[in-house]
Amino acid sequence: MPIDPIAAGLLQQMAEAGAPPLNELSPAEARLSAEGFLALAGEKEEVDSAVEMTFPGPGGDVAVTVYTPKGAPAGPLGCLVYYHGGGWVLGDREGVDPTLRILANAAKCKVVSVEYRLAPEHKFPAPLDDCYAALQWVAANGKSIGVDPNRLAVGGDSAGGNLAAAVAIRARDEKGPAIKLQLLVYPVTNHDYSTPSYAENGKDYLLTQDMMEWFWNHYLSKASDGKNPLVSPLLLEDLTGLPSAVVYTGEFDPLRDEGEAYGARLKAAGVPTYRKRFDGQIHAFWQMGGVFPAAGHAIADAASHLRKAFT
């Protein structure tokens, strides 16, 4: 179908503004530029609480925000451990705060948003190590934060979806905390630019191939790291035994095909997998709920899957 008219209008406004693309900026400059998208996230829903905490991580203290949904039922709740997007270089908990408040309320679950270390200051595997440590911390300290450690999910968008998939792999292979569901929102799954969706959508739809190359070059210490299944989950030979998955993609996203390929491989490996492509949508629509009605539809759908996983 055609691109969402709202997305087309946003892209036109950005083109008219004439700001340089992220790949022409330093990481520090790109982080400042990306803050402009916060205004598109929408209003902040009221939750029972949003508590900032830290725990000792593999490279120092890791900050998290623990969301408790409005009108939370009594007793410990299921919990989604969430990793923000931003190409491993950008992003923070603030950028996904409005989205996660809505999701926590709709799913009636706890959400723990993780402030992992960023590249290029901290290259692979440092961000992943923080994300896995966050899952372990939630599982080990569930009682103190009102979480049922037997009802855990991981999730993230874009690079955060990549990290969530890698955390699920590590949890399986390292006999870590049991995960009920992995929520992968237009995830990065392969260090590769040869897909049809890159050819179709790699220039004019917010996220570009040039930007992805910039992100990858900051995240990886060496090109061979791109073949590591913890970097490129699509390359993992054995996907059996991984948690049930929800995989969302956008039609006009260069990451569309690799996300859908990962969902297909999970399903082929016997992993219960729900796949949904959001027609007409560009990358990053999920966290721009103030602009895109599709974000609300995606969050409501994700909440439904989380409720089922935690029942």
**pLDDT at 75 (0 to 100):** 86
Look at residues 284, 305, 263, 280 and name the one whose alpha carbon lies nearest to residue 99.
Answer: 284
Residue 1 pLDDT class (50, 70, 90 cuts)? confident
Mean pLDDT over 14-20 rounds to 91
**pLDDT at 73 (0 to 100):** 84
Please give the mean pLDDT across all residues of the chain: 97
Mean pLDDT over 219-241 rounds to 97
Strands 147-157 and 110-115: unpaired
* Whole-angstrom Cα Rg for the chain: 18
pLDDT, one tens digit per residue, over 169-207 is 999 999 999 999 999 999 999 999 999 999 999 999 999
Catalytic residues: 158, 253, 283
Helix axes 159-173, 126-140, angle to 10 degrees: 60
Residue partners of 176: CB distance under 8 A and separation at least 6:
132, 135, 136, 139, 170
**Residue 203 class from Cβ within 10 Å (0-12 exposed, 13-18 middle, 19+ buried)?**
exposed
Residue 146 pLDDT class (50, 70, 90 cuts)? very high
- Is 77 in contact with 148 (CB distance < 8 Å)? yes
Q: Is the omega angle on the peptide bond into residue 120 within 30 degrees of 0, that is, cis?
A: yes
